[in-house]
């Protein structure tokens, strides 16, 4: 394994760029140990500026030269790309799928059971070292190889190892939900702008408050409802705002959005069965 890239990426879009940015910022491994192949070279060139990341000319060459291969293409491209690289895989290669659309069994079938496969579900905040990644690995993945994947994602945020039965839930919980938080932040900032604050300042206030509130949930050990109560003075302005949000169906709307994400994941999985 020594003369191969430690980590090879196929595709260089939003999610792969976020992972590589996180790895580079945290100095997780020498950038010369990261190989990337993609259909379009421009994103690789942007990422490899000021680093030693290696642009590899084809997916097969990348597969041949990498110990751990993170497949970062869209779900529709997975069958083609995995079929394309199958003959280049070594028996000790590990494929990491980051798409919610295929089970471990489906992925193994696509590569004719040539090597180990593991599933991860990261999110774009990995780019700033504050990601959340779920990992599920079958028992036949050797512990030291599984640990290399845990270490990679831990270098850019939190990691939880979960059973495959929970993987469909993760996109709503953390994979897709950054988009939900961005919309909420934008809407909150719109209101603040309406009330007179300059837009950049409004984003700064809202985003810092989201960050601090998230840290309180993670670090205080308190129930989110208790933390909410601690902000609400009797007869005060916060509870007036909350009453309005409840009247407009905030909780039900959020639960419906999360469930729509989950339903879509299940539908996408069924299509590929
Ligand atoms: N975005 C997220 O927040 C997120 C979160 C969790 C998981 N994921 C998963 O991550 C995967 C990628 O999503 P994304 O949002 O990063 O998509 P994306 O931005 O569209 O990136 C896909 C990349 O794959 C490249 N590509 C397409 N076909 C290829 C091929 N045959 N060989 C090599 N490269 C090829 C694309 O090249 P071009 O530039 O030429 O199109 C592009 O660089 C998906 O499976 C998704 O489910 C994404």
Of the pLDDT bands very low, low, confident and very high (cuts 50, 70, 90), residue 49 is confident
Residue 19 has pLDDT above 80, yes or no: yes
Identify the domain boundary among 168, 186, 203: 168
3-state DSSP assignment of residue 197: coil
Same domain? 208 vs 108? no
* Residue 272 in this model has a pLDDT that exceeds 70: no
Model pLDDT for residues 170-192, shown as the tens digit of each residue: 999 999 999 999 999 999 999 99
| Torsion over CA: 103, 106, 110, 114 (sign) | positive
Confidence of residue 2 (pLDDT cuts 50, 70, 90): low
- In ligand 1, the atom with minimum distance to the C-alpha of 101 is 47
Q: Is the pLDDT confidence value at 267 over 90? A: no
**E-assigned strand segments in the chain:** 5-10, 34-37, 54-55, 66-71, 94-97, 116-121, 131-136, 157-161
> How many domains is the chain built from?
2
Q: Are residues 180 and 122 in the same domain?
A: no
Task: pLDDT band for 1, please (50, 70, 90 cuts).
Answer: low
- Do 157 and 188 share a domain, yes or no? no
Neighbours of 226 (CB within 10 A): 10
Pocket of ligand 1 (CB under 6 A): 10-16, 37-40, 43, 59, 72-75, 77, 81, 98-100, 121-124, 175
**109 and 195 belong to one structural domain:** no
Q: Does the pLDDT of residue 73 top 70, yes or no? A: yes
What spacing in Å lies between the alpha carbon of 203 and ligand 1's midpoint? 28
Q: How far apart are CA 101 and CA 97, in angstroms?
A: 9
Model confidence band, residue 41 (pLDDT cutoffs 50, 70, 90): confident
Q: Is the domain of 227 the same as that of 119?
A: no
Same domain for 146 and 249, yes or no, is: no
> Quick one: average pLDDT of 197-221?
98
Task: For residue 89, give its domain range.
Answer: 5-168
């Amino acid at each position: 394994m020594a003369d191969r890239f430690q980590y090879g990426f196929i595709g260089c879009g939003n999610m792969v760029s976020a992972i590589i940015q996180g790895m580079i910022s945290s100095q997780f491994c020498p950038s010369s140990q990261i190989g990337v192949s993609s259909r379009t070279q421009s994103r690789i060139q942007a990422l490899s500026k000021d680093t030693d990341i290696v642009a590899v000319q084809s997916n097969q060459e990348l597969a041949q030269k990498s110990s751990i291969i993170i497949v970062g293409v869209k779900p529709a491209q997975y069958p083609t790309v995995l079929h394309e690289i199958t003959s280049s895989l070594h028996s000790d290669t590990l494929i990491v799928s980051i798409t919610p659309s295929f089970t471990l069994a489906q992925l193994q079938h696509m590569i004719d059971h040539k090597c180990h496969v593991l599933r991860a579900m990261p999110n774009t905040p990995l780019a700033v070292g504050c990601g959340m990644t779920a990992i599920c690995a079958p028992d036949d993945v050797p512990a030291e190889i599984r640990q290399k994947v845990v270490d990679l994602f831990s270098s850019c945020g939190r990691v939880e190892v979960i059973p495959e039965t929970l993987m469909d839930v993760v996109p709503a919980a953390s994979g897709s939900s950054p988009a939900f938080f961005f919309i909420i932040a934008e809407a909150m900032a719109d209101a603040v702008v309406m009330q007179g604050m300059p837009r950049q300042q409004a984003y700064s206030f809202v985003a810092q408050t989201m960050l601090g509130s998230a840290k309180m949930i993670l670090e205080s050990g308190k129930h989110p409802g208790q933390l909410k109560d601690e902000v609400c003075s009797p007869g005060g302005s916060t509870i007036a705002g909350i009453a309005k949000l409840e009247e407009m169906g905030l909780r039900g709307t959020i639960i419906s959005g999360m469930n729509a994400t989950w339903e879509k994941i299940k539908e996408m999985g069924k299509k590929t069965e």
